[in-house]
Amino acid sequence: MGIRNSLKKIKSLLKFDYEIAQGNIIDILKKMQHLESLEKENAKESANIKYKINKLSDDLEKIIKNFNYVNLETLQLNNFKTTGKQKLLICGFYGAVNLGDELMLETLLKYIDETNRFDVTIMLCDNQYVNITRYGKYNFIHYPINSVDLNNIANYYDCLIFGGGAHLDDIDYDNNKHLSMGRILTDLTMRFITFEKKTVIYGLSSNEKITNPEFISKLKYIVDNSTLFALRDKYSIETLKKCGVDTSKIKLVDDIVFADDYKTIERKDKKTIEIGAIFICNHETENKIENYLNSIEKYLKKVDYKYHINLIPFYDYNDNDNYYYNNIIKRIKSNKINIMKMPYNMSQLQELFNENDCIISMRYHATLIANIMNKNVLNIVYSSHQHYTNKMRYIYDNYKYDNNTINFGEQIDDNIIKKLLSFENNKNNKMYNNKAKKDLIDMIKLM
């Protein structure tokens, strides 16, 4: 389909002329700008001008709602450059940037690219500021907006992989009338199955409890009919079993990042203790993170250690982690606490971890990778969030890492810090890496 025909289809779907709508938006914005300047000049006419501005704002919103009826990208799928290979769509929480999801995607793509069998499209979340230059030679689309988008996507692609993440979440499914990740997971997967396409759910985890009957019904159908349904922890499988899902059809696999390669380099400069710290930053956690940092500094000063605490950003959406880290540092006023540059790939993260003697982590993939790299880890479990219970519990129960763990909100006492700085984590991860690599390769062969 050419661009001219695509535009005709867009216009017929939206019931209005795209170019006229674009002109209307520009015209409305100019009028609003003019009225705002008049309002400042003439206080007596202020109420009347405000009314006109609000009316223009309503008109603008109506136009924008028409644009939001469909994801226009799905009408341009046939214009994607392809090579005649299988058209593979990879879905997940990509492009935010939440580093854990990006690391799973990076590892998955490495194995997919080695086969040279696929034209790959990555579905990105709605982040207009994502730096697309960090990715390789792939096509991109954003999340679907309505059911027609789902159908167009499933009809176009040959196969689908949902690659990693805590996406078996009926709370997200319940709370969003629009197509949230929970609904995209179920409904898009079901459309692929209906079109008899290869469909893989790989390396996901679930909430501790799932109760929504509609969500459960869809999961049962997907487990029964997908090419492969594989979860990354046994507790998520148990959650689905309690819901009546036939878990004999579910495969237990390691998290996707286990299939990557790791190199641990011991620090040569031992004049200072370097502590890397990764927190989940938001308005609810900010003050407690500040308290944790104060407690750690108090202990280190008491024992007269030379130290640095290096805050490592992990979530880049709207510069989230840097924003909160800067706020916290301003209040603490310590010259021993630094904010590191955000890592965007596995190589950069490993380099940062190798520059630190130990890691304090609230995030799942930071905890997992630090343990894989044989770092001393203090894991602070964000147990109030529905995504964390199953996957965090499995890390220590299954892989038998030295468990230095507290729940978020509990105090960090001297004994916990002492353990962080003293115990040795010398587990052999080679066995898990080899199994993860084999499972990932076997999964791609199914496509």
For domain 81-261+438-445, say whether CATH 3.90.1150.10 is its number: no
What is the β-pairing status of strands 307-311 and 337-339?
parallel
Residue with tokens 């603008």: 60
**Cα 138 versus chain centre, distance:** 19
pLDDT of residue 7: 45
Q: How far apart are CA 220 and CA 130, in angstroms?
A: 35
> Model pTM?
0.83
Overall fold of domain 273-428: Rossmann fold (3.40.50)
* Contact present, 340 and 332 (Cβ < 8 Å): no
Describe the strand order of the beta sheet including 376-381 as a list of residue ranges: 337-339, 307-311, 273-278, 358-361, 376-381, 405-407
The sign of the dihedral angle between the CA atoms of 254, 260, 261, 267 is negative
Per-block mean pLDDT, blocks of 10 residues, the chain (447 long): 47 45 61 68 65 70 60 80 92 94 97 96 88 91 89 96 92 70 93 97 95 95 98 96 97 96 84 94 94 95 94 93 95 94 96 95 95 92 81 88 86 89 62 88 96
Percent helix, percent strand, percent coil in the chain, to nearest 5: 50, 15, 30
- The torsion angles phi and psi of 303, rounded to 5 degrees, stand at -90, 5
pLDDT of residue 12: 46
Spatial CB neighbours of 333, under 8 Å, sequence gap ≥ 6? none
Q: How far apart are CA 212 and CA 442, in angstroms?
A: 33
pLDDT of residue 40: 61
* Contact present, 244 and 216 (Cβ < 8 Å): yes
